């Protein structure tokens, strides 16, 4: 049985822009499947990961309709991770940087996502067993 630990992650990338988003979600998934508690702080573009108005689309290039394309929206991945956390006996906290949300106009977020500031990430890192910043590149 793995000893439960707490990990804090900071993400920066907007959805659909970088492979870092997928890797970050894989890391959170791996951590919560092992029963570890995870906090995720979304900074800058990453605050759009939880935007409630994301919508899937069909793919005419591949001849796939909406259902067939089954295009992922990260907001659904967040919801799925939250459900996995419940099944695994882990806690998942997902917090957006509030000013980053405001300047991007993505304040409508899916259920369970909170709002905070860099101080909240610092406090979560202080409380956690370890932390990882996944920066964007530009």
Partner 1 sequence: MAGYLLIESRDPLESRDVASHFYDLAAGLARRGEPVTLFLVQNGVFPARRRAQAAALDAVARAGVEVLADDFSLRERGISSDRLDPRVTAAPLDVVIDRLVEGRKALWH
Partner 2 sequence: MSKKILQIVESGYRATIEEQDDTVVWFTHAIKGGGAAIAVLLRGHAVNYGVNGQDASGLAFGDKKQTQPPDLAGDLARLIAKGVEVHVVEEDLVAHGLVATELIPGLKRIARSGIPELLGRYDLIWHW
Q: Which residues of the shown chain bind partner 1 in the complex (CB under 8 A)?
A: 2-3, 5, 7, 19-20, 23, 26-27, 30-31, 34, 36, 129-135, 137
Q: Which of 10, 32, 76, 81 binds partner 2 (CB under 8 A)?
A: 10
Give the torsion through C-alpha atoms of 17, 19, 21, 23, to 10 deg.
180
Q: Does residue number 131 form part of the binding site for partner 2 (CB under 8 A)? A: yes
Q: Does residue number 126 form part of the binding site for partner 2 (CB under 8 A)? A: yes
Q: How far apart are CA 18 and CA 38, in angstroms?
A: 22
User: In 1-138, which ranges are E strands?
Assistant: 6-11, 37-42, 92-97, 113-116, 130-134
Cβ contact 44:96 at 8 Å: no
Binding partner of residue 55 among partner 2, partner 1, none, CB under 5 to 8 Å per kind? none
Q: How far apart are CA 27 and CA 36, in angstroms?
A: 11
Name the segment binding partner 2 (CB under 8 A); options: 51-59, 73-81, 85-93, 124-132. 124-132
Q: How far apart are CA 36 and CA 24, in angstroms?
A: 15
Q: Which of 43, 51, 77, 94 binds partner 2 (CB under 8 A)?
A: 43
Q: Which of 7, 79, 117, 124 binds partner 2 (CB under 8 A)?
A: 117
Q: How far apart are CA 44 and CA 46, in angstroms?
A: 6
**Residue 116, beta-bridge partner list:** 97
Q: Does residue number 67 form part of the binding site for partner 2 (CB under 8 A)? A: no
Q: Which of 14, 42, 44, 82 binds partner 2 (CB under 8 A)?
A: 44
Q: Does residue number 66 form part of the binding site for partner 2 (CB under 8 A)? A: no
């Amino acid at each position: 049985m793995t000893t439960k630990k707490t990990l804090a992650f900071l993400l920066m990338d907007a959805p659909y822009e970088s492979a870092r988003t997928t890797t970050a979600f894989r890391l959170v998934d791996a951590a919560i499947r092992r029963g570890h508690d995870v906090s995720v702080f979304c900074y800058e573009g990453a605050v759009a990961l939880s935007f409630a108005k994301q919508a899937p689309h069909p793919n005419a290039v591949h001849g796939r309709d909406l259902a067939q394309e089954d295009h992922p929206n990260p907001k659904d991945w967040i919801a799925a991770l939250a459900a996995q956390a419940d099944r695994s006996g882990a806690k998942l906290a997902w917090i957006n940087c509030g000013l980053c949300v405001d300047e991007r106009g993505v304040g409508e977020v899916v259920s369970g996502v909170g709002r905070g500031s860099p101080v909240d990430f610092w406090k979560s890192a202080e409380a956690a067993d370890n932390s990882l910043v996944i920066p964007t590149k530009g």
